[in-house]
Amino acid sequence: MSTAAAVLLIAFAVCLFSGVPIVFSLGLAAIAGLWAADFDLIVLAQRTISGTQVFTLLAIPGFVLAGDLMMHGGLSRRLVRLCQVLVQHVTGGLGMVTVLSATFFAAISGSAPATTAAIGGIMVPEMERHGWSRRFAAALSTAAGPIGQMIPPSIPMVIWGVVAEQSITKLFLAGIVPGILIAIGLMTVCWFAARAQGIPKATRRATARELLVALNDGKWALAAPLVILGGIYGGIFTPTEASAIGVAYAFVVGMFIYRELKVRDLPGILLQSMRTTTIVCSIIAVASAFGWLVAIEQLPTVIAEAILSVSSNPIVILMMINVLLLFIGAIMDNVAAMIILGGVLTSIGASLGLDPIHLGAIVVINFAIGMATPPFGYSLFVGAAISRLSVEEVSKALWPMLLVKILVLALITYVPGVVLALPRLLG
């Protein structure tokens, strides 16, 4: 390893573990690395700007704004009501409502923290009112939120598609089955938890009339993913164009059909979306400069060779990759991690003969799990905030849910057909 590479990594580690925000950690480390490599610091500005000059990244602000408009426009509340009618009679039904609602909302927002906030804000107090412990309710909302990273439209899938130069449409398809499997696993946890906590189930099934009323009230919310994803997979528009369609759809439904979105709400919603987009895009920009220096110093090749030298067994190597990504996802922003590790992971994937779409699903799902994992998972912070509990209290109730996610991760890692079945339909 060169001196510049060592300086880069040491500076980044020192900044990160000193509590310096990730975007500044990346920037300061890049400056230190460029200085050690005797590059002009103008390179930092050039690479930071060029890192954002990718058309596909325009999908990010679109999907963020669409999710915020749908959350404020009444779509999330109607999804919750529909899910409640469907499973209210099942043991653990109210917990399952949280999972199902998060899964539906994930197909709208594409964001883990947004899904946790939208669904958890409604369901945590509701579950507690019906006898569930607040810890479990908060942990469930935290665990269900990252389904938004898997079910399309997924913002991390867009970013990985740019980093690895892969089809975003195929990556979207690769996340559907893992997302559904995790949702089923979390609902199973709810069933066992309800029995353990002695939570009574509803005394009756919803009537046909109640179901029809809920379907009619929620039909516009249910149609949102059909419009967005149907247009992408039908070849009508690209993922970037789909994000704009999503914004228009959310605005029209919230403003003129449900009439819960008011003109006076728009400045606040736009400001919230701009904050989220600014955070994501700032990290992408600075991480691009950091990643360029990593590539110049040939760190991906060095790390890939080090991992491959441990064993020639693909099963062992894939397990090492998962452990590494789970650890990094728990302590670092996943956008920055994907950009920094993109070269390393694609090199290892090529050496193992992994399908690039399969590799992308493994990466994104690892980091989705990291969103709900102590100590620094974003969804974990959101879940703790909406429940007014400490991160430690929520974390203690998370472990059964994290175990379910890791089991699904192992399945999709070693059985590629689970994630590749749908992308292969596109040819």
Q: Does residue 46 belong to any structural domain of this protein? A: no
pLDDT at 414: 93
Residue 237 CB-density burial (10 A; 0-12 exposed, 13-18 middle, 19+ buried): middle
* pLDDT tens-digit map of 62-94: 877 887 887 788 887 787 778 778 777 788 888
Q: Per-residue confidence at 24, pLDDT binned at 50, 70, 90?
A: confident
Residue 207 belongs to what domain range? 56-426
- Is the pLDDT reported for residue 49 higher than 80? yes
Please count the other Cβ atoms lying within 10 Å of the Cβ belonging to residue 302: 15
110-129 mean pLDDT: 78
23-34 mean pLDDT: 88
Handedness of CA 339, 344, 328, 420 (dihedral sign): positive
Which of 26-40, 45-59, 347-361 comes out lowest in average pLDDT?
A: 45-59
Instruction: Let me know the angle formed at the C-alpha of 245 by 49 and 77, rounded to the nearest 5 degrees.
Output: 110
Q: Does residue 21 belong to any structural domain of this protein? A: no
Count, in order, helices (H) and strands (E) of the chain.
Answer: 21, 0
Q: Does residue 9 belong to any structural domain of this protein? A: no
Q: Does residue 124 belong to any structural domain of this protein? A: yes
Q: Does residue 359 belong to any structural domain of this protein? A: yes
Give how far the C-alpha of residue 66 lies from the chain's centroid of Cα atoms, to the nearest Å. 16
- The closest of 344, 391, 387, 370 to 125, measured between CA atoms, is 387
Q: Does residue 406 belong to any structural domain of this protein? A: yes
Q: Does residue 14 belong to any structural domain of this protein? A: no
Residue-averaged pLDDT of the chain: 83
How many structural domains does the chain have?
Answer: 1
Please count the other Cβ atoms lying within 10 Å of the Cβ belonging to residue 338: 26
d(CA 308, CA 303): 9
- Please give the DSSP secondary-structure letter assigned to residue 255: I
- Is the pLDDT reported for residue 110 higher than 70? no
- Is the pLDDT reported for residue 186 higher than 90? yes
Q: Per-residue confidence at 132, pLDDT binned at 50, 70, 90?
A: confident
Q: Does residue 2 belong to any structural domain of this protein? A: no
Question: N- to C-terminal Cα distance for the chain?
Answer: 41
* pLDDT tens-digit map of 209-255: 888 888 888 888 888 878 887 887 777 887 778 888 888 998 999 89
* pLDDT tens-digit map of 345-384: 888 888 888 889 999 999 999 988 988 887 667 788 778 8
CB 305 within 8 A of CB 123: no
